[in-house]
Each structure stands twice: as structure tokens, then as C-alpha cells.
Structure 1
Amino acid sequence: MITKFATLSSRLAVLLTFVFAVVACGGGGGGSGGGFLGKPDEEGVELAITTAELPEASDGAAYTALVEATGGQEPYSWVILDDGGAGFDINEEGFITGQAPQEGEYGVTIQVTDNANTTAKLSTILSVSADTTESLAVISTALPSAQNGIQYTALVEASGGEQPYSWDILNDGGTSLSINDEGFLSGTGPATGEYGVTLQVSDALDATDVASFIFTSVGDAIQPLSIATATLPNAEEGKAYTAILQAAGGQGDYMWMMSDSGGSGLQLRDDGILSGNAPDEGQYALTVEVQDDTRTVSEILLLTVAADSSPLTITSSSLPGGTVKVSYAAVLNASGGEEPYTWRLVSGGGQSGLSLSTGGILSGTPTIPGTFGVTFEVSDRTSKDQTALILTVAAEAGAEEPLQITTGSLPDASRVLYAAAVEAKGGIKPYTWTGGDTSDPGTGFDVTLSTGSITGNTNNLLPGQYGYTVTVRDSAGDVDTRAYVITVPGGDQAPIKILTETLPDAVDSLTYTTILRAVGGTDQSPDWSVLETVKEDGTIYANGPTFGPTPNTGILFWSAQDIIAGNYTLTIEVTDGKSSDVKDFSLTAVTAPFRITTTNPLPSATVGIDYTNTMTSTGGGTTTKWSVVSTVTEVEGTPIPNGPSFAAPGDDSTGELFWAASDIVAGRYRVTIEASSIDNGVTSIDQKTLDLQAD
């Protein structure tokens, strides 16, 4: 039964303190006392739970909290009588663990029993706040084109999740491209054509996102050298910035340089990688040049830097260890927000014998050995952040107790992602942990060397019991080993279910690809099919999207020539052979926006010979009107009076750019072209500046 309290006035009035502990480096504090340190029996003191309330949890996040007791006869044992539907567990040391439930308030009742079978109870409220973590997502929307047989490099970007990221190519479409963990896609441009490339990004929490791109490789005819990068990705003030500049055409290898950084402080390597720390908020004009075996071209690129939007966050993730009767000092760090910061010690300082200054310096002389949960808070003018860290205080020299693993048993592997903490005490820290399976088949779980945390994935494990042995070694070389049994509970496999909720729009002149996902079932690569595609007038469209020759990939494909603007309903089925799921999706195909598609630079002009070149566009209506906005010299930006135009010798709707032989003067020019098109009464206009050289 879940008990939720709607108002603060209905909370239990419990006037005790609490300590929120995150199990981290070294363990060493298990013991029978239900806290970080074992305690002698307190004869004559009535058994009581000293923890008043539980720290707040975040929806869907891993949760750990410590509940403590005093009095009675040790050792203690703990049990959760009612978790209010939160789904948490508690071990013999009083550590509550689990994954936080949905946002809300949950009534939790906990009981401790001592060696004399005396019990004490705590009823309190667990508050769960909404998870505000941004989901991991690939934010790059397109890949730059490659040239057949020419070295290719592109940067793919992601946001959200927990860095660092790692990248994989799920399907290279036959391009033989590769990608590193920084998202740099590289290789040699394949044969002319379009290729479907599917990329996956993973973060530090094993979250993933998948994106599919159309990768275009053009012919290998030598084109004039040009800078293909038209715009730079935006930067954020004070953050590390990286962008890859692209060139096209020319002969031989490219050599990049920057003649003017515009005050940005960024550096450009000779391979075209622009990097550095982003400057202050604003816009910066960067003049870059690229050189091949025969010529050099330049371009002015605009960099937009946004203000720093990082939230105030405590960045310190651990505390150095201390020793009893030895002076201690550690500096806490934070980032984001608005300086200056103000620090305060929320809990745990008195027990450890340390205090925290407003400047973030934790100092003092520890008086007792042990492992303490210390909670800190930092605040700026508008916000605050809290974190709890583990402080380990060693005994005086010569007072060490024998090394011993204190964790009695491991929790069941009842979720897909398994995590358990093994603790030890005594010896000389720091500890080093190792572990491994003792049954065949095994779990495949790993032990973190520095913390003793056991983690793994239970997706491929059958129900049953698995042997697992953990060994801890201290700095003096002493060793303790303990064998455990990890139980994977039984249960029926959930039927397969389509996870994807919506489909992205299609564009009527571009090949369409997207990936659908499913959960459950028994097959990691189920078969997908489109049962029917229905137009908005109710008729079936025979040339709708399909899952192609490899339906087990989940990649939905729609050829560009079959896409007609309109609204469609797709009925899609997925099956693993034992179960299936059918779902209807709405898919909208939109008309491609009107754009000038003529590539930069224009073909060269020759002095004394009439110049013509036909412009191209995509989207819009059936008739396009063309005009020349301006023609200026490339270096000085000086307008010329008799530049190319569409007015002579013919109709400006043909898109034929003309320059009379008598007006052509040798030099390098920039021609700004404007095109307009009317489609269903709506006028669309596009402009593009193109380089033109006259020899």
C-alpha cells in the first residue's frame, strides 16, 4: 500500500538528525552498528533509531541513504516494514538502496532489531523530486558531403546525458567510414551516390541515442578550390570549443590557416580543426584561408558565442583521507552559477571533528577513526547545490585492526542493471578490489578496483544462483576474500512492444530514414514490417515506406522519388517469433523549402569571352525569378558597375547568369544571387553569395 502525504503539516514530527551517505571509496564502515563505525554496546540505553528523516531522492536516479540506531544490544538487523511503494531495500548495516520511484511523497516505515530481539521503528516521509536531467541526444542533423577518393572528416555532436560520450557506427552503409569517441567521422569518400549511415552515442551512464543520416559522395572531377563551411557552430562562453572546417575541390592536400581570429582567441590547425576556449558572449568574425597545390582561397566566418548557462554544481567528487590527531585540510570546488560562492556544512562535521569555511576549505583535527558521510552545500546569489562525500579517517599509527570484508551478502539481480557495494574495514587504506565468477556460466559482472562496487547487466542471465568471489587487498599487502551467491529471480519474459512513439517528418525530395525501437521479447533483432500505408483520403499508398532488405534493423526507409507531400497513417508490426506488437503512426511529408543549390564557387570566367552559367534551385513553384543583388571584389569588397546579371541577353526566369566579354576584368569577385519563387500564392526568397574568378 502506498501512503502519500499531501501537505507538510501531515508529516511525522520527528526531531532527530539524519546523515545521508553515498557509498564510495574504500567502504570500511559496515559493522554491526548500522552506521559507518562499529560501536560498543550501550547497556541500559533503550534501543532507538536516531535518523529522523530520509534525504530527498530524484525521479529515476540511483538512491542510497544511511539509517542509524543507538542503545540496545548490538549487533542490529534492519528491515523495511513498508516502503510506500518506493521499491527500496535495506541491508544489515542500515544502508537503504534502490532506484527512486516517480515524483511524489512516500510513507516509509523501518524497523531495527537488536541482539536481545528488542525492536524500534521509524516512520518518515521520502520526498522524490522530478528528474530534470536532459536526455542524451544526437544534435547533429546532417553530414557534409564527401568527394570520391578524397580524405573525409566530419564532427558529429551530442548533448545531454552524462559525459564522457563514446560513439559507434551501427551501419556504415558500405562507406567504410570510422568514428572515434570524440565524434570525429573519418575515412575516404566512397563511389558517387547516397548512403544510409546510422550512428550511436553512449554516455557514462550507458544511455544511448541513435541517429540516421544520408551521406552523399560526389564525383571525383576536379572542381575549383573553395571553403565549403558556410557557418560555424555556436559556442558557449568559457566552454571548450571544437569545429572542423571543410574545403572542396582543388588539387592535392589542404593546408589551413587563420589570418584573423577576430579577437576570439581560437586556434586553427593546418588540418582544419578550429579549437580553444570560447571567448566572452558576442559575435566574432574569423578570416580563414585554405591552400591546395595551386591556389589559396579565404572566407570570413561568423562565430556566435552565447552566455554561460551552466548551473551551479559542486565538482568535488571525493575527499582526501585523514588521520586521527593529524591536522587536516581539503578545498572544495564548484562550477557554473555566478561567483562568489558561499559554502556551509550541512551535516557530518561535528562527528568527524572538522569544520567548513565559507570559502570552501574543510579543516580541523580528526579525533576518532572511521568513515563519515559529510554533506556540503554551496550557494550563489540565485541558486544552491548540495552533495554528500565520504571522509575516511585512519587510526593513529600502530592502531590498525586486521583487514576484513564486512559485507555479509549481495542483493538479488532483480533489475537489468545490477549494482552492489562490498565493504571492508581494518588494514591500511587505500584498498584494491578484485572479483570474478566461480560458476559456469557466470554473471560477467565487474568489480571496480578502487571502490569494491559490483556492476553488470542481467539481460542475458537465466534465473538461478551464480557464485561470485570478491578479494580486497590493502596497502600493506594483506588480503581478505569472501565468496557470495548472486540470485537472478525467475519470471516470464515480457512480450515484445514497440517503444517508438512518433515518426519525424519526411521531405518530398529527400530520401527518408529513421529507426524504430522495441522492448521486451526474446530476440535482440526482431523483424519489422509496414502492414499498410494509408493517405489522408483513406486510400492505400503502394509506394509508402518499408523496412527494406534487412527488416531486423528497425530502419524505416522511403525513397525520395516515392515521397509525395501529405499526411499518412502507417501500420507497423514488430515480431520476435513468439510475440508481436502492432502500432499506427502518423507521418507527414512536407514540401522541400525553396533553396538556391548552385555550388560555390562558380565556374571561372575568361577575359574577352562572354560568360554564361545556369543557376539551379530546389523546392518552390514552377517558375523562379533570378537577380544579381551585388558583385564586389573579394578582398576590398568594392562594388563593380558592370558585373554579371540575368537581364541580358534573355529572360531572368531561365536562371542563366550572363557577363558580357567587354565588361569582364581579371580578378576575384563575390556575386550575391537572389531567387524568388511563387508556390500556391506563397512567395519564397533565397540569397546566396558565390565566388567567381576571372582570368
Structure 2
Amino acid sequence: MPLAHAQWRRLHSSCNGAGYAVEFGPRLFRRAEWSASDEIFRESIVHFSSIRVVKGLALTAVAGALVACGGGGGGSSSGGPGAYKVSLRADKTELPTNIMGVGPGIGVNSPYTTTLYVSAKRENTGDLIPGGEGVFTCNVVGGLDSAVLYKLDGTDEEDDDGNPKPSRSVVLGANAGAASFHLHATNTPGTATVRCTVDDNGTQREASINVTVGRATGKPSQVVVNAADPAYLFVQGIGQTTQILLQAQVLDDAGAAVPNPAPGVNNLYARIVPTAGTADDDAKLRGTGGDNTWVKARSVSGQAAFTLVSGASTGSVLVEVLSDRADNNVDNGITEVVSNIVAVPVVASVGMQALAIQGAGALPDATEGKSYAALVQASGGVPPYVWSLVPGSSLPAGLSLSPNGIIYGTPSVDGPYSFALQVRDSATLQQTAQAVFTISITAAPDPAPAPLQIATSSLPSGNVGSSYVTFVTATGGSGGAITWGATGLPAGLNIASATGVISGTPTSAGVYSVVLTATQGTTVVNRTVTLTISP
């Protein structure tokens, strides 16, 4: 039975003014198409040899009608450049839980941060997505409590202290079809899902990746170091305590003890960090192996111990304890650093002198983008000491202050900075002291330029006997002048070497494979494009 006119109108309404309808009888399939005026202008009838075939073809026809009306998602066709294919990858897909709230950073000394790389290119031709601003939009769409996003390229919004602000979404420009950004773990275990999208003529193309934060992997994720009471030492030669036990714990992403290394394998490395003070000049570490300034140890149920022995000078001794997340083995080197630092005061007396800050003024210089650690020290009063920023003062962006007087992190700014610190002792009637410190941060060297690349992926078509003009472009490189060349151009067309303008009047029809060449200094790059000249 033919479709009723009311059914046609309902389909017509759903297709915004144009569409298809189908009906079928015992051995035929009828397809009709109408315009916005509801006037049928094309109809076709196809005969079939069996009812079973009709059913299969009818379903195909209905699906085709829906696609013609705009239903379903757009895919790449067999011809043309095809849809954009988005790719997303990460340097690390597992991050430790950031229990201490360490800030983001780049490199092996930033175990809580991973770099992500997004790119897009045409499926059929491999053409990279054009450069520009706002090409990629990347969001945390799952595990929102476990990770946040940063650019770490100097364009992040900053808080009042100059630190980059975390975000759930970043918008990135494209360079050579790609961009990078960063994901940073929080103190909440989970799986963070990141999705990046690009606009493809109104259709959103996307790719996603999962990064696990805090999964119980058995890999070192955190080193916890505690000094036994009284948490300070006396100098040698006065008949007081001159050695202290340092207890180290190696925990995995879920806060559980890492598995015991194989017999004879050490998974912890401790060292005395040289400082501007003199307390570490003749202090010693004792344990397995080492030369008194460093030792190794094998943890059992995640725990190991070292002994720190004071020297003849007062001040503080800075001890760093490291493990290797890559393989829980420090005997073969350390590939992926997981570490913690503890400062142990060394005093000549307790409660006999007023609390004072030692060495106020200039701290060791730092370099933007490189890991940094420095120690501020106090004397007198009753140790141990607790350090903090004076209200209203702030550290350079990327640096933090630990309660035991360690300034650490990766500075994200350059220039001279000054800030005020205060320290309090552990006496019943606490004393406090304040001092101003300065630090000079050298600017990071300029990043290497992106490689030279021809950005033009296709040439507009032309006609025989008609004037033709277009131009080609390149991205990246050293910034010097580019000299252009082309081989395979149709007769009548030439390229201007200084500007990359292709112009002339073609005299022969055909499809031409043109090899473009861009030369910048000693760098030469090529790209093959197609030019169609119609009769």
C-alpha cells in the first residue's frame, strides 16, 4: 500500500524541507524524493527476484535516506582529503598520588606531572591541521578529582603568588599540526580521562586517553623520611647526642609499602646535600656501602634506616633520600626519581641562646625551568625549628617552603626576588625570628625553533588559457628568508623564489604532481602537492 500523504509530510518536516520516502510491494521497491514545496520530483522503482532480497535492500535504502537527511555521524569518504584524525598520547599514563601537594613541573624531577601530545591530520592525504590559535580544545572529562591540566608554557593564568593556576580545560594553538600540554596529579587516586577535540567544518573530531593516578602498582611513588627524637643533633665533643636514626619509607601509588627488592638489590639512595653552611662539611651518613656522604639501603616491607652523624659545626644538615620508580632499583642508576629531603639541625646548646636566623640574604642562584633546592638555617632556642613565610610575602612562582626550612621546586619565572621568612622554635615559651632572603633566577634559554615545514597541502585548480595565481607558505624554521622552488608545474606557470607566488597562464590541461621546495639557510624541505588544470 502506498505511503499516505500525512506520512510524507511527517518525514518532510523531520528533514527540514527535503527528504526521501520508501515503500515496497511484493517484488518491488519504490523510492521517492521531494523538495521543500512538497512536490515529488523524482521516483524510481526497482524490481527484485525474491521477498528476502527486498527486505535487505529496503533496510539499506531506509538507512541511506536517513543519511541523506543528515542523520548519523560524518565519516571520511573514499575521495577527497578525508576527515581529521586526532591523536593523543602521554609520556606517562601512570602517576603517583600527590599526597604532599607538590606543584607541577617538567622533566624527571617532576614525577607527578606528565606531558600530553595532541595532533590532527587528514585521513586520506595525511595533511596536518593548519596552524593558528584555538585549534585544539582539551578537557578532563573523567576522574575530575584526580588530575588537573596546565600548559606550563608561560600562558597559564596565575594566582596571587604568581603560580600557574590549574584548569579542567585548555585551548591550544597548533604548530606543525600538533600541540602539547600537561596533566598533574592531585592527592586523590583515580583514573583521569582527557579528551581533545578539533572542529572539522562543523563536526567535532576527538581522541581520548586515560591516565591513572594512585593505582597500587608496587612502584615507588613516595619516599617518607622521619628523624628519630629529638630530631636534632649536637656538635661533636660536648658529650651530647651526635647521631640520629633516619627512617625512610618507600610507598606505592596507593600508599602501600613497595615489594621487597631481590636479595642483594638496593632500592634507596641517601646523600648529604652540600649547602652554603658548614654543618654538612664533616657530617657523615652510615649504612650499606657509600663514602660517608652517601649510602644505599634495601627496604624490607617498604622501610629502611640510615644513621646521620654530626660534625664539628652548627647549622643544618640536608639529607636527600631517593628511589627509582622505573624499577625499584638504585644499583643500576636512577631513571625516574622519587625523592624527599629532610633537614636536621646541629646545635651547640639548647635553650641557652636566643633564636636567630643564620645566613640571611642571598640564596644560591636558580635557573628558570630547572629543579632547585636551598636550605635556610637557624640557631639558638630549642630545636627542631618550624619555618614559614611572613604574612604578605611570597616565593617566586614554582618554589615552595617546607616546614623544616627547605626551599624547593622548579621556578617558572626569572629575575631577582626577595621575600621574608620566619622561624619558631620548640620551646614551651616559643621564640620567633624573621629575616629577608633574596634569590636570582636566570631566564631559561630560548627553546629550539620548530623545524621548517611547508604548510601548503594543496593548490587551487585552474583552467587552460585563464590567468592563475596562488602562493605557498611554510612554518617553523630559524626565521631567516625562505627561497622557494617547484618542479612539475604545468607549462605557463612559474614560482617566484622570493615570495612563493605561483602565477601565469597554463597552456595544458591535466593533473600535475608538483614538488614544492623551501630552502632556509642549509635546511631544505620538500612537499608534493596536486594541481588540476581543466581544459
**TM-score for the superposition, normalised by structure 2:** 0.30
Query: Normalising by structure 1, what TM-score?
Result: 0.25
